[in-house]
Structure 1
Amino acid sequence: MTQNDNSSVLSGSVSPQRVAPRDHGGGLDGAMACFGGTRCDWIDLSTGINPCPWPVAASVWSADAWTALPDRAAAQALNDAARTLWQVPDGMDVLPAPGASALIARIPALMRAGRVHIAQPTYNEHAAAFTAHGWKVTPLDDGALDARVIVHPNNPTGAWSLPSALENLPLVIVDESFCDIAPEQSLLPHLPHEGGIILKSFGKFWGLAGLRLGFAIGDPVLLARLAEAMGPWPVSGPALAIGAAALADREWADQTRRRLAADSLRLDGLMQKAGAKVTGGTDLFRLYTVNDAAAWQARLAAARIWTRIFPWSDRLIRLGMPAPALWDRIEAAV
């Protein structure tokens, strides 16, 4: 499919282009196949997910959350909690979804394909989604653009963007999957009301990635199209209930930010003593420069600690935060 031959995609008559499997964090099955052990033996530091998740209690949901179709009241409670937490401006809508990745995969189909700017390096889901829908992805900010993707803070570098990056384009996506470590940095107050979408991940900061919950915030017209594409009941009943309760728990969030900030400094200290250089990251993951990233990954894997390296760099390695009870193992391995 060429860049301009996308009317069939817009009409839904054909599927988007197929793409090859993409490089991700996780993949403990592959690590076990290569280095041995069982899943319970391993510490997975490859994903950047909070290792101390929000404490889910059965009292959060009613029994019919599992047996009945999700109702409007539960969906509205989650929307209200999201609007309050993220201080969503009037004139913008909130759309819960089964994970931010589900939104990323659908956003490029919202309009006719053109040229989208995605600064590099960053994680590859956005580029893959736009490419699959016939867009031309460019790392060059040359002014002749139809869309822009900003990952804020960036993954894996941790770099923050300025509000000036939010120029008016037909489509501006700000991926704030890791922004809840520092909510004051959010670009939501500066987002264009027309053409603007901010993505929020529930699984990263709240640590419940298996729940599959994410949010789009922004242009009501675009979000209505996304909602139509996802169909009815995109979010499960338990996810609606757990998400609403977790987003409203400010005390837990404040305590978590303090813990993650202290843990990121502790991990930096360990890695620097071992010869690594702090290159970037956030309080949910840290990025280091080492002499040989593959050798570092293999050495840590021998101690059943899985990390993230990148096909585009032989010197960068990324580590997430360990759970409190696992620091002794991290220190011994590093």
Structure 2
Amino acid sequence: MARHGGEKSDWIDLSTGINPVPYPIGDIAPNAWAALPDAAAQDGLIQAARAFWDVPHEAAILASPGASSLIARLPALWPKGRAAIETPTYNEHAGAFDTHGWDVVTHAPEKGVTVQVVVHPNNPDGRVWDADAFTAPFTIIDESFCDIAPEQSHIARTRRDDTIVLKSFGKFWGLAGLRLGFAIGAPDLIDRLASLVGPWAVSGPALSIGRTALMDAAWTEATRARLAQDAARMDGLFSAKGATLVGGTTLFRLYEVDDARAWQTRLAQGRVWSRIFPYSERWIRIGLPAPDGWDQLEAAL
């Protein structure tokens, strides 16, 4: 806004991969705000999560105030060593391991690597990982964007003692401000992670909204269909302007263009914000607009 003008209400932020049509939260009981989160509410959320993601009975589930809270703490589960995080990918994982004093390598695991981290589907290119790619003693699989394609989930691996799967509530349900995320894995690992997160980590309203949303199968099915249609519409708009689809998910698209910075600037002149990357002069990532934002996006293009 400082550079291109306008007020916040004039802009649409497509630099994220958040569902622009959030889950309707409805009324929240006053007690959810007034009291500390109780065990029954927490158990209700966990059971809903277990059912929604078809979590193996051998695995434990931890709810937290956002997946980022978990990402920041995961490196503390093991003695510092070497972590493999292939790039390009979401950079907070490498940042967390680096902060904890780990040696981070940006290629496939090799001898001496303790932990491998993958984002599945990957951000920003949408890469999905086969199980045979997980070769380190411990694996963290960030499935923050996997709810658009549940058949691709590696949740079945959480019955093992060497895997943690992360889930983000903010992306698919479009409620990033709620701050809700999940870690799923072996009970020993999840218990140790819970001790780092601390008690009453998830707010009463988040417990209530999360449980209701995870149980709403009709909304989930309709949302997956709408996101797929909107992603196809986005591809049509950008390909007509000369962009080439590189990858992504139905929550965000990654295009190759002649000059990513010039494209970002042109879109910004139309009050549309996008994401470009320091490691590529030709990649631009675009989230989906809300239903009332398509005209503005088309005008900016």
Which of 150, 160, 184 is residue 118 of structure 2 equivalent to?
150
- Equivalent position SS for 2:3: helix
Classify 1:46/1:292 alpha carbon distance in 2 versus 1 (closer, same or farther; 3 Å): same
Say whether the 8 Å CA contact 1:166–1:192 is kept in structure 2: no
How much does 1:139 deviate? 1.6
Which of 153, 178, 183 is residue 211 of structure 1 equivalent to?
178
CA deviation profile, 1:212-247 (whole Å, cap 9, x unmatched): 000000111111111111111000000000000001
Matched, 1:66 2:29: no
CA deviation profile, 1:66-109 (whole Å, cap 9, x unmatched): 01000000000000000000011011001000000000000001
Matched, 1:87 2:54: yes
**Paired residues for 1:165-204 under 5 Å:** 165-167=133-135, 169=137, 171-191=138-158, 193-204=160-171
For residues 53 and 225 of structure 1, the distance between their equivalents in structure 2, rounded to whole angstroms, comes to 32
For residues 200 and 133 of structure 2, the distance between their equivalents in structure 1, rounded to whole angstroms, comes to 34
Which of 61, 71, 74 is residue 104 of structure 1 equivalent to?
71
For residues 168 and 303 of structure 1, the distance between their equivalents in structure 2, rounded to whole angstroms, comes to 46
Which of 212, 216, 219 is residue 245 of structure 1 equivalent to?
212
Matched, 1:138 2:111: no
How much does 1:167 deviate? 3.1
Matched, 1:319 2:286: yes
For residues 168 and 329 of structure 1, the distance between their equivalents in structure 2, rounded to whole angstroms, comes to 46
- Equivalent position SS for 1:215: strand
Q: What amino acid maps onto 1:160 in structure 2?
A: V
Q: What amino acid maps onto 1:96 in structure 2?
A: A
- Equivalent position SS for 1:298: helix
Matched, 1:46 2:15: yes
Q: What RMSD over aligned residues (CA atoms) do the two structures have, in Å?
A: 1.0
Say whether the 8 Å CA contact 2:15–2:287 is kept in structure 1: yes
Residue 162 of structure 1 corresponds to 130
Residue 24 of structure 1 corresponds to none
Matched, 1:57 2:11: no
Say whether the 8 Å CA contact 1:98–1:235 is kept in structure 2: yes
How much does 1:145 deviate? 1.1
How much does 1:326 deviate? 1.4
**Paired residues for 1:270-285 under 5 Å:** 270-285=237-252
- Equivalent position SS for 1:56: coil
How much does 1:168 deviate? 5.4
Matched, 1:295 2:262: yes
**Paired residues for 1:22-33 under 5 Å:** 32-33=1-2
Q: What amino acid maps onto 2:112 in structure 1?
A: A
Q: What amino acid maps onto 1:158 in structure 2?
A: G
Say whether the 8 Å CA contact 1:166–1:191 is kept in structure 2: no
TM-score (norm 2): 0.98
Q: What amino acid maps onto 1:55 in structure 2?
A: P
CA deviation profile, 1:34-89 (whole Å, cap 9, x unmatched): 1111110001100010000001101xx32110010000000000000000000110
CA deviation profile, 1:301-332 (whole Å, cap 9, x unmatched): 00000000011111100000011121111112
Say whether the 8 Å CA contact 1:51–1:323 is kept in structure 2: yes
Say whether the 8 Å CA contact 1:168–1:192 is kept in structure 2: no
Residue 233 of structure 2 corresponds to 266
Residue 117 of structure 1 corresponds to 84
Q: What amino acid maps onto 2:17 in structure 1?
A: G
Say whether the 8 Å CA contact 1:166–1:190 is kept in structure 2: no
- Pairs aligned (count): 300
Residue 272 of structure 2 corresponds to 305
Residue 27 of structure 1 corresponds to none
For residues 33 and 235 of structure 1, the distance between their equivalents in structure 2, rounded to whole angstroms, comes to 35
TM-score (norm 1): 0.88
Unaligned runs of 5+ in 2: none
How much does 1:144 deviate? 2.7
